[in-house]
Structure formats: structure tokens, C-alpha cells
Chain A
Amino acid sequence: MSATLLRTSAVRSALRSSPRASFGAATFVRGKATLPDLKYDYGALEPAISGKIMELHHSKHHQTYVTSYNNALEQVEAAQAKEDIATQISLKPLINFHGGGHINHTLFWENLAPKNQGGGEPPSGALSKAIDEQFGGLDSLKQKFNAALAGIQGSGWAWLVQDTQTGNIGIKTYANQDPVVGQFRPILGIDAWEHAYYLQYQNRKAEYFGAVWDVVNWKAAESRFK
């Protein structure tokens, strides 16, 4: 575990003990986003996802989103102080992209788990019931989810989402780092950017989409489902 404790602070260690309630708060300390620690080692998701991928993905890619988000936020704050509306608007794509990257990856790490922490164990309770009713079972959901992942044209994510209006669940894809906000609530996300699998799977992305279910943390998904 020590390998993953890159930037442990008392604040984050304390927040880690109540991860469910703390998603928003845990990653924004005094207005600044910080890289969250993983709850498992980089190598813990092997063979589905290699340790090398996890290390780069968390310590480099996610870190870059955090850093760039903080930079963009600083510029927004400066523009706000000057009541410079044009600059505030021009910064919106950066907030969406880097803030989205931070949110998406934070949720992603949480909805993955090694086998010995419940990774791959099928969902239970209300979410399981909703999956059965709306998809005809978990296998059918996985099939449709994988088809959605494979159909992404470029970089992006596929999410199991809950419609906050109807309560129904569904599969949606999002381009680049567009986050799941607004009408839909994120339940389970899979990163379909090439950096998420390329070192291990190269162009064989269907193999990654097949294997990732072995490390999906359905308990985390259940806790997001309302």
C-alpha cells in the first residue's frame, strides 16, 4: 500500500475513513483539488489492468488533471476579481476538461477494486434488481456496456447512469473528459481513453473491456444508486 501513498496528508487520511460521504470534500481542500490516494496497490488490479498502467494513470494522468484544474481555477478567480466576464467564459472549456478529468478518475478508482476487496463480485440489492428489470440481467448489461465502450469514436468514457428524473438506469457515453453532471447521476464508469489500456492491450481494446469487469467494484456502484 505504501507505494500508492504518494501525497498522504492528515486531512486526506482522515477523509479516507469516510469515503462515501466525502467524495466532494475529499478532493477539494480549501478550494484546491488534490490527487486522491488509491485504496489498493497499483499492481492489485492485475491481470485485468497492469501495475504500470495504474501507476502512470494515477500518478501522472490524474495528477495532470488536478494540476491543470487548479491552474484554470486560479485564472477564473483572478478574472472574477477583475469582473472580466469574457475571460471567465473563455476558461470554461478548461474547467470542464480538467475538472471533468479529476471527477471522472476519482469515481473510476473508487468503482474498481481488486478481487480480494470484492472486485468482480456481482451487485446485490436495489441496483441488482434495477439491472435485472431494465437489462434482463448482469451479462446483458455488460454486453451493452461493452458495445457502448467499443462505439466511442475518440477518447471518452462509458457510464452506467441513473436518470434523476425517472430513477431509471441507463448506459451513456461521454466524449473526452465530459463529466456526468446534471440530469444523470454517475453509478459506474469505465475509462475508454487509450492511456487506460494501451501499454497492456495496444489496439485490442475489446480485450480490456472484457477484462475490466473482473475488477469492477459493484459495492461502490450500489452506494451511488439511489
Chain B
Amino acid sequence: MAATTYTLPKLPYAYNALEPAISAQIMELHHSKHHQTYVTNLNNAAKSLATAQANNDIPTQIQLQPALRFHGGGHINHSLFWQNLAPPSSLDTKINAAPKLSEAIKATFGSEKAFKDKFNAALLGIQGSGWGWLVRFDNENGRIGIVTTKDQDPVVGAGEVPLFGVDMWEHAYYLQYLNGKAAYVENIWSVISWKTAEQRYLGKSADVFASLKASM
């Protein structure tokens, strides 16, 4: 029962492609070091888990759950994050790249501006490390909503589809924005890929995570 090996996905753009919103130095460390560490530790946890399963060792399997959640979550979150960002000059970052989703946003929040204000407030309200996500809830008639998660908890609940996420760990902005995280939150909108968000909004939960399987 060999464990699957997960690998670091390639970015769909260059490290400097998100400037000036996110510096090349941040992107390089974030992808090649932080994300890589989650992948490495996920593989270690998956290997230990496979051994414990082969030995019918339930206590060890349970003991490995936090590591699996943290490092697996880190891998999932960052993989989704890279895909829901795009260079600011790209048409993908304009909200008309998401006609259906922007309709739902207006219906739910009143306006794009009101949505962004609420999303920003949610991001800035995170106490510690975590993420903010726009999510579709299939169990609630496909409604959308804003969800914050702590540490690397991934959005993988039944019927929950993450549309786009913003990393609020300090490593995501500190080298460029220092303690000024409000400016990071403001600038991130110039590199959100509405095209990706629209695809996820129209797709199934499994489709969203499909690219993760491909990187196994």
C-alpha cells in the first residue's frame, strides 16, 4: 500500500508577474519554500499513514490526522490560491470575466463594492494565521458566502466549493507590506482571477480539486 506522492505544482505565471501587488521575492519564497514544505510534510504524513493503515494501527492513524490536515490543507490551499491569481494586466482579473458569479455577488451583497468591503473586513478580522474564501454552498441551494479558516484548514466540507481564497499568513505579504496588511488586502484585488472563480462557480466541487489530483 504505497502512499501517493504529491508534487509542487508549477505556477501558471512567472514569480514577478503579480507585481506590484505581490513582489517576486514573496512569490518565490512562498511557492518554492513554503508550499514545497507543505508538500514534503504531506508526503511524510501520507507515508506514515499508509504504514499505519497496513498495520491496522488505528491509534497512529488518528494521531496523524492533525499533520495530514495541516500539511494537506497547506498543499490544497496554496494550489488553489496560485490558480485564483493572475497578472494584473490579464483580462482574467476583470470582474466581467465572471458574468454568472458577479450576478450572484450583486444579488447576495448588493454590489461588487459591498462584497469587497465585507471580504476585506473578514480578512482583516482573522486573529492569527488563516485564509479568507468566497465559497459556494451546494447544500444551501448554491448560495455563496464568505468563510475564514484558521491556519491551513482547507475548505473541503461536503457541498462546499472554494471559489477563490486569499492567504492571510504573514509570509504572504510581510516582506513587502510589513505590518500594513490592509494595503495587501486592498491590492490583492488587482490580481484575483475572476476567470478561475467563474469556472469554479459553474463547476462541481470535484472539478475544483481535479488539478490537485493531477499533481499527485
Contacts and interface: CB of A to CB of B under 8 A. Distances in A.
Interface of A: 56, 60-61, 64, 93, 97, 153-156, 175-177, 193-195, 198-199, 202-203
A194 B169 contact: yes
Contacts of B171: 194, 198, 202-203
A68 to B, nearest CB: 10
Contacts of A61: 179
Nearest to B170: A194
Given A56-B178, A154-B152, A199-B178, 4 more contacts: A154-B150, A154-B151, A194-B174, A195-B174
Contacts of A156: 128
A60 B182 CA distance: 14
Interface of B: 29, 33-34, 37, 66, 70, 127-130, 150-152, 169-171, 174-175, 178-179
Contacts, number: 56
| A-B CB proximity, top 4 nearest | A176-B128, A154-B151, A194-B170, A155-B128
Contacts of A154: 128-130, 150-152, 169
A153 B151 CA distance: 7
B34 A199 contact: no
Contacts of B66: 153
A156 B170 CA distance: 12
8 contacts: A56-B178, A93-B127, A155-B128, A177-B127, A177-B128, A194-B174, A202-B33, A202-B175
Contacts of B129: 154-155, 176, 194
Nearest to A156: B128
A202 B29 contact: yes
B127 A203 contact: no
A155 B151 CA distance: 8
Contact of A198 (B37, B127, B175): B175
Given A153-B152, A154-B151, A193-B170, A199 B175 contact: yes
Nearest to B127: A97
B174 A199 contact: yes
Contacts of A64: 179
Contacts of B128: 154-156, 175-177, 193
Contacts of A155: 128-129, 169-170
Nearest to A198: B174
Nearest to A98: B127
A203 B29 CA distance: 7
B179 A203 contact: no
Contacts of A194: 129, 169-171, 174
Contact of A56 (B70, B150, B179): B179
B3 to A, nearest CB: 21
B130 to A, nearest CB: 7
Contacts of A198: 170-171, 174-175
B33 A153 contact: no
Contacts of B179: 56, 60-61, 64, 195
Residue from B66, B70, B128, B150 with most neighbouring chain A CB atoms (10 Å)? B128
A33 B197 CA distance: 43
Contacts of A56: 178-179
Contacts of A97: 127
B40 to A, nearest CB: 12
A178 to B, nearest CB: 9
